[in-house]
Copies of this chain bind each other. A is one copy, B any other.
Amino acid sequence: MRQAEDDHASPPVMNGAQSLVRTLAGAGVEVCFANPGTSEMHFVAALDSEPGVRPILGLFEGAVTGMADGYGRMAGKPACTLLHLGPGLANGLANLHNARRANSPVVNIVGDHATYHAQYDAPLTSDVAGFARPVSAWIQSSPSSRTVAADGARAVQAALAPPGQIATLILPADTAWNAAEGPAPPLPRPQPGLASDAAIDRVAKALRGARRPALLLRGESLQPAALATAGRIAAATGARLLCGTFAPRVARGAGRVPVEPIPYFAEQMVEFLRDLDVVALVGEKPPVAFFAYPGKPSLGLPDTCEVHYLAHPHEDGPAALLALAEALKAPREGLAPAPLDLPEAPSGDRFNHYAIGALIARRLPEGAIVSDEGATSGGGTLAASVTAAPHDWLRLTGGSIGQGIPLATGAAVAAPHRKVVCLQGDGGAMYTLQALWTQARERLDVTTVIFANRAYAILNVELSRVGALNPGPKALSMLDLTHPELDFVKLAQGMGVEASRAATLAEFDAQFASAMAQTGPRLIEAVL
């Protein structure tokens, strides 16, 4: 390094942070979701010198990483975060776990102490790489301001490796503030692999001989064109079209060939899959139970079912589906897409998630994005919206609650002209509620529906399902959110988001209609 530095007698063009920001912009990073601290101040300052990167502040790192996930799922571009040392990264890990399970392409820039300062074990010193490891496919601590730009280009490339993964670049403060040469050119975007002819032949043969086959789809294969191809294969073979319970993104509604999501509970999953004799996996793994339960199965498919990969997750699922359709000589017209068929307005006055779901489905605008962390209350809308206006549905991929609101926020950044509807259970809402403030600051077009059942309702179900019988008052109090009741209207208003409370179907419908008719953030607390 000494020699290299001596070669630069003239003032440096820029510092490491500036070279990194410009490199990220050149590699396709358009947004940086940020919660910075002292060690990131040079990176923050460098944002002003790069018009191509829009910084978006989150008030908590779990909100920041959840936004990156939502952006990554919808934008098809690298989602960038800026986090403050090990503990800042740690606060974002749960939603990075969800993002990893969603195969979102996320680049974390994590500031750290100056290289020479780490040895002193100052209060914020920690094992940053250790925190990053469980969620990151690629980790590097950048040792020099002269090479940090190139490290940044590599980080973006790593995040974009199909089907998308988490890359974490640790940025020591002196790597940011010392002199750099300039930005590094982008590295080639990795392309998905192609499924082998052998895999296509094998699956074609298996489907032809199957009595009750299915395609289990994920990733790009759940987007409209690939779904149409899958519908051709279904028409040719009688295959059911399935997706995982928590598929990252599914194109649904009118005009899209519908897929059936696998149910959540283990015994329902087994029942749902019990007839199958051949399953072809397209970017997905064999289905497993979300949790184990005493005496219940972990695996979803019957032992007798043949399972074949048509395309691995890193391979091009839509291309493999097309090749399979050709091999099967599938008809040009496959399964009919879903019609536009809005549900009836709910009769009666029962204010539950089924009735609310019908009201939402009736008013869901074309092109809406639904962020579903409705937990025990999300199913009503899921069922009611199969024939609603066309939309994308995003789910809680990693099972770590506290994703819904940030995910909706990031999706709204990625798709500013589409309405985002967030279905959010009250328990999960409290993990990353801070994302509402970002919605207000950025005037994002998100309507959040809080299903306020005043409980960790799923745990009331699970407590008996796991065989913990006769729970006493202390156990039940751990699942109860009534003492005191949360007031989500005040919580939202406290962060600058317009909010209202609905306790009847008429109130909900009027408030939801109003929210769909305007743009900007809104929150409706549906008191169940």
Measured CA separation A487–B489 after assembly (Å): 12
Least CB distance from A475 to B in Å reads 5
Flag whether A41 is at the interface (Cβ < 8 A).
yes
B91 touches A62 (CB 8 A): yes
A431 touches B48 (CB 8 A): no
Report which of B121, B299, B471, B477 forms a contact with A45, defined as CB distance below 8 A.
B471
Least CB distance from A481 to B in Å reads 8
Which of A4-12, A385-393, A433-441 is near enough to bind chain B?
A433-441
Contact mask A120-145 → B, CB, 8 Å, 1/0? 11111011001101110000000000
Flag whether A190 is at the interface (Cβ < 8 A).
no
A431 touches B490 (CB 8 A): no
B289 touches A36 (CB 8 A): no
Measured CA separation A183–B36 after assembly (Å): 47
Flag whether A298 is at the interface (Cβ < 8 A).
yes
Which of A153-161, A249-257, A304-312, A456-464 is near enough to bind chain B?
A456-464
Measured CA separation A488–B92 after assembly (Å): 23
Flag whether A101 is at the interface (Cβ < 8 A).
yes
A466 touches B127 (CB 8 A): no
On chain B, the residues within 8 Å of A72 by CB distance are: none
B36 touches A459 (CB 8 A): yes
A91 touches B431 (CB 8 A): yes
A177 touches B466 (CB 8 A): yes
User: How many A residues touch the partner, as a band?
Assistant: 35 or more
Measured CA separation A133–B133 after assembly (Å): 11
Flag whether A491 is at the interface (Cβ < 8 A).
yes
On chain B, the residues within 8 Å of A77 by CB distance are: none
Closest B residue, CB atoms, query A53: B474
Closest B residue, CB atoms, query A244: B123
State whether A101 and B123 are in contact (beta carbons under 8 Å apart), knowing that A44-B478, A466-B173, A467-B177 are contacts in the complex.
yes
Measured CA separation A122–B471 after assembly (Å): 27
Flag whether A398 is at the interface (Cβ < 8 A).
yes
Which of A111-119, A218-226, A313-321, A323-331 is near enough to bind chain B?
A111-119
Flag whether A343 is at the interface (Cβ < 8 A).
no
B37 touches A87 (CB 8 A): no
A87 touches B133 (CB 8 A): no
Contact mask A42-59 → B, CB, 8 Å, 1/0? 101101110000010101
Least CB distance from A43 to B in Å reads 9
Flag whether A348 is at the interface (Cβ < 8 A).
no
Flag whether A74 is at the interface (Cβ < 8 A).
no
Taking each of A36, A55, A292, A489, which has the highest tally of chain B beta carbons within 10 Å of its own beta carbon?
A292
B55 touches A120 (CB 8 A): no
A400 touches B292 (CB 8 A): no
Flag whether A506 is at the interface (Cβ < 8 A).
no
A290 touches B123 (CB 8 A): yes
Flag whether A60 is at the interface (Cβ < 8 A).
yes
A97 touches B93 (CB 8 A): no
Q: Which of A264-318 contact B (CB under 8 A)?
A: 285, 288-292, 294, 298-299
A441 touches B484 (CB 8 A): yes
A93 touches B131 (CB 8 A): yes
State whether A400 and B463 are in contact (beta carbons under 8 Å apart), knowing that A130-B130, A131-B93, A288-B122 are contacts in the complex.
no
Flag whether A507 is at the interface (Cβ < 8 A).
no
Taking each of A91, A122, A289, which has the highest tally of chain B beta carbons within 10 Å of its own beta carbon?
A91
Contact mask A9-43 → B, CB, 8 Å, 1/0? 00000000000000000000000001011110110
Measured CA separation A422–B18 after assembly (Å): 39
On chain B, the residues within 8 Å of A473 by CB distance are: 48
On chain B, the residues within 8 Å of A458 by CB distance are: 38
- Give me the 4 closest cross-chain CB pairs, A-B, nearest first: A484-B496, A48-B472, A87-B400, A490-B494
Query: Can you list 29 A-B contacts with CB-CB less than 8 angstroms, sorted by A residue number?
Result: A38-B458, A38-B459, A38-B466, A41-B468, A42-B468, A45-B468, A45-B475, A55-B474, A55-B478, A60-B430, A86-B97, A88-B94, A90-B134, A90-B400, A91-B431, A101-B123, A113-B292, A117-B298, A122-B399, A123-B246, A124-B398, A130-B134, A431-B434, A437-B484, A440-B484, A441-B483, A484-B496, A486-B494, A487-B496
Known A117-B298, A124-B399; further 15 A-B contacts with Cβ < 8 A: A36-B459, A38-B458, A55-B474, A60-B430, A86-B134, A88-B94, A90-B97, A91-B400, A101-B123, A122-B291, A123-B399, A130-B130, A131-B134, A430-B434, A487-B493
